[in-house]
Structure 1
Amino acid sequence: MKRNRIDIEGIVQGVGFRPFVYQLARRWNLTGWVLNDSRGVSIEAQGAAPNLAAFAGQVRTQAPPLAVITRFDVRDCPVEVEEAFVIRASVRDRERKAQISPDTFVCDDCLRELFDPADRRFRYPFINCTNCGPRYTIVTGVPYDRPHTTMRDFPLCEDCRAEYEDPSSRRFHAQPNACAACGPRLSFHDRQGRKLEVADPARHAVELLRQGRILAVKGLGGYHLVADASNDEAVAELRRRKARDEKPFALMSRDLDQVGLYARVNEAEQRLLAGVERPIVLVRRRDDHPLSPRVAPRNRFFGVMLPYTPLHYLLLDEHFTALVMTSANLSDEPIVFEDAEAFARLGGIADAYLLHNRRIHTRTDDSIARVMAGRAVLMRRSRGYVPRGIFLPQEQPPVLALGAELKNTVCITQENRAFLSQHIGDLKNLEVLRGLEHTVTHLQDILSVQPRVVAHDLHPDYLSTRFAEELPGVRRIAVQHHHAHLVSCLAENGRDEPAIGVIFDGIGYGSDGHIWGGEFLMGNAEGFRRGAHFAYLPMPGGDAATREPWRMAVSALTHAYGAEFPPLPFLAAMDARDVRLLQQMIARGINCPLTSSCGRLFDAVAALIGLRQKVSYEGQAALELEQVISAGEEAVYPFALQQGEESLVLDPAPLIRALVLDLEGRVPIGILSARFHNTLAVMVRAVCRRLRTASGLTLAALSGGVFQNRYLTEKTLALLEEDGFTVVTHSLVPPNDGGLALGQAVIAGRQA
């Protein structure tokens, strides 16, 4: 006889791990016990040595589908007298390392029961088991047990209790387990929030959606605004009420066959759509699609997701090609997740409300992804992925990193893992700041980490910086924006050595006090040197230049030609007095901060070719410039690469002049866009070659929001790899500012 103690860490609570261990132990005729503790799962198993070895191997290799094991420690312990293998009550201690599973889509077994008239959970919108259902959004503490979730509000009925306590049941210790007799329930409310008595709230909602109404529907991590995507009047009205003029709406369809009616989906995109995380995936739309053209105006792609809750399946069952399923909020505000807040904020948008009485503890948006160079890249890391840990190249002290101003996320490190939060939003108002505060507190609680080192952006006026300054008893470390991008990419890929970081984004506060955004950095978490950057251009009007790309076009023309530049068509649509005023501001340096931003160069080109003079959402001009690219065009424009005082400088003036010549020659905008993108990729290769010669570095990292652009990313990646570089890019961490906190945390950890 032999006895082993097995301690397991990772995502091993709330995923059916204990019943799996219990059944495996019985199969191998072992005695002992298994329990949840604040670190994960602990096992003591006893039996014949060969059986014990087989048991331990299968625990590690045949774990439940939602489990992720990060530590598996086996040691001998004294043999005891016992007769059976049992599941013990959970133990809570001071050291908490248990990881919570992300929220997970409804599994096939539950789905079959949902539509089986003979099943007691027929059409029950909260059906779940240990393999699926809500997790992170309902967890209030660890260990992951029902009293530490918002399901504590719903005592189990006798039938559900029997399942919960039966180790052979798929619902053994499924913490959200419930049925219509004891669990959460749907309710339907009118525009004023008054509850309406309807026999079946889900069916009533479907009928209103078919009539063209707009509904606010409470989901896993917050409310969605929902409308029939084929109803042009409904979609137009939703845009008007939500004050969202052009930004694409997310869509949801019942299955891949329905998605195929309006989009062309390749194999990699199908796997991503149907994966357990269920993100919104950007897929190319069909020209003959049956949906409203207002779903995604001036865009070749739709953002699509498949259902991930039972309620979604009930809404979509045999009724709609697709539903608009967009986050319920007003511009620049976080997603609404509390009922009273929904009634107060959405009354002017929704015609009615479909809600439930299960509390959401942590609001969580949908994740967004696209496939680039054959791999999934997250644009927004949220539901389905959070709070999975990211392994770091080495262990470090606990650090709290507060991210950036836009697309804010926070990050907490624990030993050799980093926990990046869900998308919080743009820190432009107090409501988003409160979301940041809640997320920090929640992550610290479920991880049992109280960092004494706090990293924040170098920019002194960001709300995240001010939040850091108000935290008592901590050491604050300011991290340069683009250095954080570089290290975020390296850390995600498990790399620690110095690299050439190609960091292209919109704006970030530079070490010299100017606005950076077209950077070639050499370094790693230990530090960096600026090897090259785009030439500085004035941003006439400061932030106004990010909302009105024509300002950057005038700036680029002035840089390329001086005060007298060609009278291009886009200028004819502008007020001549405004153009003259801008020229005067640039000449005198009045309210014209300097920027090396690649994102602002995209804005300038989009305006120059007449594509976009004003934007209604961040990154719109760059996105639309990518959309119009003509396939097959390989030509490039000239550019200048000069040695500056401390680093190389990429001057876009020759590019701008060549582009103007093409404009005057009436070259189609699709070709203009392709040549501009091609030029950027060739620029990157030229600079990286020079920096490799000077430094010997052969590892290149691509990061920053501009590398959400698939054409540019794939073109740049191919050129660099052909030239002998090893290139790392983002995948599970966004290349945009949503991944910035990871880099901040690793950099600060080295200085702690």
Structure 2
Amino acid sequence: MKNHRKRAEILIQGIVQGVGFRPFIYRLADDIGISGTVKNLGDAGVEVVLEGTEEDIQEFLARLREENPPLSEIQSVIVSRSKPEGLEEFCILKSTHGGGGSGTIPPDTAMCEKCLEDMRNPDSRYHEYWATSCVDCGPRFTVIKELPYDRPRTSMEEFPMCDECESEYEDPTDRRHHAQSIACPNCGPQIFSIPPSQNPIFKTAEVLREGGIVAIKGIGGTHLACDAFNDEAVRRLKRGLRRLHKPLAIMARDLEMIGKFASFDEKEERVLKSIRRPIVVLDQIENSPLSPEVARGLHNVGVMLPYSGVHHLLFDRIDFPIVMTSANLTGMPMIVKNNKIISELGNIADFMLLHNRKIVARCDDSVVRFSGGTKKFLRRSRGWAPSPLRLELGNEPMLALGAELDNTIALYADGNCFVSQYIGDIDNLSTFKFLENTIDHLTSITNMEVPERVTCDLHPDFITTDLAEEISKDRVRVQHHHAHLASVMGEKKIQETIGIAADGIGYGSDGTIWGGEVLHVTRSDFDRLGSLSPMLMPGGDLASKYPSRMIAGILYESSDLNEILENHAEFPGGKEEQKIVEKQVSSGFNSPTTTSAGRALDAVSSLLDVCQERTYEGEPAMKLESLAAQGTPLNLEPELESQDDRIVLNVQSLFEGLIEFEEEGKKREDIAATAQDVLARGLAEIAVDCAEDLHIDIVALSGGVAYNDAISRRIRESIKESELEFITNERLPCGDGGISLGQLVVAGDKE
């Protein structure tokens, strides 16, 4: 026999707004036959009141977690009890501004299969309507102005619903119930073109087929597109964007089309097809028909499937993959406003496909790659940002300003770490303004004030360091590689590890430039136990741009330096520049010391004549990896020695061995593979020795070099062979895009 009626008041926190959560609660309650209410509380979550038998309440709570909407993420369910008030039905109440916590914002996601079916169904009122969406898909983060997530607080407020849309919006049994971006051809955003066309989608396809370039305004920004098989079109696009060498992303209609130029396994397929639809870096097949200009010098290519209505409609009319790259000049933010698209892309694009819905927050495509057996983010943005990571870092809100390159920022409050979308390189006014706008927007949509505690990089001359000083007196400056490893510790919720930070460059606590480090790390502090042996960077930043300088910087103590440079280095300024570089390394003038793994790999790239000038971040090392993928490591052991109270991997000895192999006529690809293998085994051996000495059973890997598949895989194997646990970043980038979370972790543990 059932008990008397009871009342439960439930507070649900997590990603529970903008994901169809209230309609789900309504349908669940209706199915069980229980009375009550559901209401959004803004930053506080969703409040559910239930009145019914105890058995009904328990069934509701059990099914709540099992059947929740696909885009939701329940973080906590708090249940309290009170006396029943005689509620006789279940209804959805109007949202209110809540308090007591930060809001959680759902990310943008790809069009779901049901909306895609509606868009392709001639009998549907959504037939061929590009902006079709429901509670399970479509724009969220890029249209939200503030919480609670209701239509008047989004850029959809400019498009009043027609009667039919309003009827679906108000119907709790409809999947578009309270879908804030609901719209149809009669009342929603419209596409148009420059120059004007009666059928913009059809004309876009025609321009692409004829070898033209099209600017396409999307959900979170604008892309430039062209036929990925057409050499001249790709070259013209790259010239227009001033990205002559940087690889471009590709969009293909389906997996069958991808298979014509790239290979993928089951894991990569799942990510490609997921509702988040990131760019996935895949290996190109032999004799790939893609234009070599798409990813010149690389064995892989970034590929994504269509995720918006416009993309699907376009691929209904073309049968080839297209370049789909962010429409911005190098180092500048992606363009989102129609007037800017028209004025700034007019000299590049032959045709423009635009729409009249405002983009509140620009958001680049996310990029993932499987390396070392692990899915890694190269960029965490559309599809994920700004979904929080749950991590208890104390009671005090914090703001992290991240790294200077590949910047993201992060906010912390109430156990939520909100990492922003990709911002970019903070080296120009436009990107700096984007950073400031991101701070404003992220604090607004999480109902937070700018926190008093601000954390930034240790480097004294970074723009973000100056900004931290302007924002707050309560600043925490965090060493770059400590932040890299702390980001892994935060993800894995651990307190201590031996960490390998294999990276480009970062300001070290001793004033030198670090980048190939083995650290004993806690959340609040670190101890430098090992590194690569010190090298010089003749000319400072010039050594990053022209990696032949790093050969001199590595072998600066060699008595045969002049002969080595004559035979194994290439300088753009010829003999005169070589003489200058030799003087710099002999005197130490303008030649800062570094232990950077990235610069060491750059030097190998120059030695093997793979890349003599870096035109985009990571280019020499990326091209070296592509060459090494064709080779097999030769027999060369890492040489470890004690130096300055730490263990170092002798890079000078490594280079002497590589030069000897080159003079013996060994294959370039085998020499490249050898350099990566020795670097990986050497750093892993140092880490294992340190872990065993300190009785620590976890070794972490982070930093930009961790993206290299061969290096990451070899380090992982070495750690596991020593029966230690290996961890690395999986939820945030190994590179500088994950630095902001690491800064929060460190700052949260400091008094």
Normalising by structure 1, report the TM-score: 0.97
Corresponding position of 1:456: 456
Q: Which amino acid aligns with 1:32?
A: G
Query: Is 1:13 the counterpart of 2:11 in the alignment?
Result: no
Partner of 1:88: 93
Specify the SS of the correspondent of 1:558: coil
Give me the whole-angstrom Cα distance separating, in 1, the residues matched to 2:214 and 2:510. Answer: 49
2:220 pairs with 1:188: no
Task: Look up the SS of the partner of 1:376 in the other structure.
Answer: strand
The alignment status of 1:3 with 2:7, answered yes or no, reads: yes
For 1:393 and 1:5, how far apart are their aligned partners in 2?
25
Deviations 1:519-563 (A, max 9, x none): 111021121111011122111111111111111122223245554
Corresponding residue for 1:193? none
Secondary structure of 2:415's match? strand
Q: Which residue of 1 aligns with 2:52?
A: 47
**CA distance 1:632–1:539, shift in 2 (3 Å):** closer
Which moves more between the two structures, 679-688 or 306-315? 679-688
Q: Which residue of 1 aligns with 2:237?
A: 238
Aligned to 1:141, the other structure's residue is in SS state coil
Q: Aligned partner of 1:16: which letter?
A: G
Contiguous gaps of at least 5 residues in structure 2: none
Residue deviations 1:697-748, cap 9 Å, x none? 2211100001011111011101111111111111111000110011111111
Instruction: Tell me the distance in 2 between the aligned counterparts of 1:122 and 1:712.
Output: 49
Q: What one-letter code is carried by the residue in structure 2 that aligns with 1:527?
A: D
Please state if 1:67 is matched with 2:65: no
Q: CA deviation at 1:396?
A: 4.5
Whole-angstrom distance in 2 between the partners of 1:526 and 1:628: 40
Question: In 2, are the aligned partners of 1:227 and 1:324 still within 8 Å (CA)?
Answer: yes
**Alpha-carbon distance between aligned partners in 1 of 2:265 and 2:474, rounded to the nearest angstrom:** 48
Q: Contact 2:131/2:183 (CA < 8 Å) preserved in 1?
A: yes
Q: Distance in 2 between matches of 1:642 and 1:448?
A: 53
Q: Which moved more, 1:385-394 or 1:304-313?
A: 385-394
Tell me the equivalent position of 2:164.
159
Q: Which amino acid aligns with 1:187?
A: F
> Residue by residue, what CA displacement relative to the aligned partner does 1:4-51 show, whole Å, maximum 9, x if unpaired?
111101111111111111111111111110111122211001112211
SS in 2 for 1:227: strand
Contact 2:392 2:414 in 1 (8 A): no
Instruction: Please say if residues 456 and 744 of structure 1, whose CA atoms lie closer than 8 Å, have aligned partners that are also in contact.
Output: yes
CA distance in 1, matches of 2:579, 2:172: 77
In 1, distance between residues paired with 2:468 and 2:571?
47
Residue aligning to 1:519 = 517
User: How far apart are the structure 1 equivalents of 2:96 and 2:562?
Assistant: 76
Distance 2:319 2:433 in 1: 37
- For residues 189-588 of structure 1, the aligned pairs below 5 Å read 189-190=194-195, 196=196, 198-392=197-391, 394-450=393-449, 451-471=451-471, 473-496=472-495, 498-561=496-559, 563-566=561-564, 567-571=566-570, 575-588=574-587
Which deviates more, 604-613 or 391-400?
A: 391-400
Task: Name 1:599's counterpart in structure 2.
Answer: 598
Deviations 1:76-106 (A, max 9, x none): 1210122210000001134453311100100
Amino acid corresponding to residue 83 of structure 2 in structure 1:
P
Percentage of identical aligned residues: 39
Cα contact 1:15–1:101 (8 A) shared by 2: yes
Q: Partner letter of residue 203 of structure 1?
A: F
Cα 1:60–1:639, aligned 2, differ >3 Å: closer, same or farther? closer
Give the conservation status (yes or no) of the 8 Å contact 1:187–1:201. Answer: yes
Distance 1:561 1:346, change over 3 A: farther
Distance 2:426 2:384 in 1: 22
Residue 147 (structure 2) aligns with:
142
Q: Distance between the aligned counterparts of 1:559 and 1:187, measured in 2?
A: 64
Would the aligned equivalents of 1:99 and 1:447 in 2 still touch at CA under 8 Å? yes
Q: Measure, in 2, the Cα distance between the counterparts of 1:573 and 1:13.
A: 56
Does the alignment pair 1:171 with 2:170? no
SS in 1 for 2:19: coil
Cα displacement string for residues 301-337 of structure 1 (whole angstroms, at most 9, x for unaligned residues): 1100011111110111141321100000001111111
- Relative distance call for 1:189 and 1:622 in structure 2 (3 A) is same
Match of 2:644? Answer: 645
| 1:728 aligned partner | 727
TM-score by length of structure 2 reads 0.97
Find the residue that maps to 2:681 and give its secondary structure: helix
Please tell me the residue identity of whatever aligns with 1:459. Answer: H
CA RMSD, aligned part only?
1.5
> For residues 693 and 25 of structure 1, do their structure 2 counterparts lie closer, same or farther at Cα, with a shift above 3 Å needed?
closer
Q: Does the Cα contact within 8 Å between 1:268 and 1:374 map onto a contact in 2?
A: no
How far residue 118 of structure 1 moved from its aligned partner, in angstroms, is 1.1
Amino acid aligned to 1:288: N
C-alpha spacing 1:529/1:333, structure 2 compared with 1 (3 Å):
same
AA partner of residue 173 (structure 1): H
Q: How does 1:109-124 map to 2 (within 5 A)?
A: 109-124=114-129
- One-letter identity of the residue aligned with 2:696: L
CA distance in 2, matches of 1:204, 1:718: 52
> In 2, distance between residues paired with 1:160 and 1:549?
59
SS of the counterpart of 1:568? helix
- 2:87 corresponds to 1:78: no
Alignment partner of 1:104 is 2:104: no
Provide the rounded CA distance (Å) in 2 between the counterparts of 1:738 and 1:407: 5
Name the counterpart of 1:126: 131
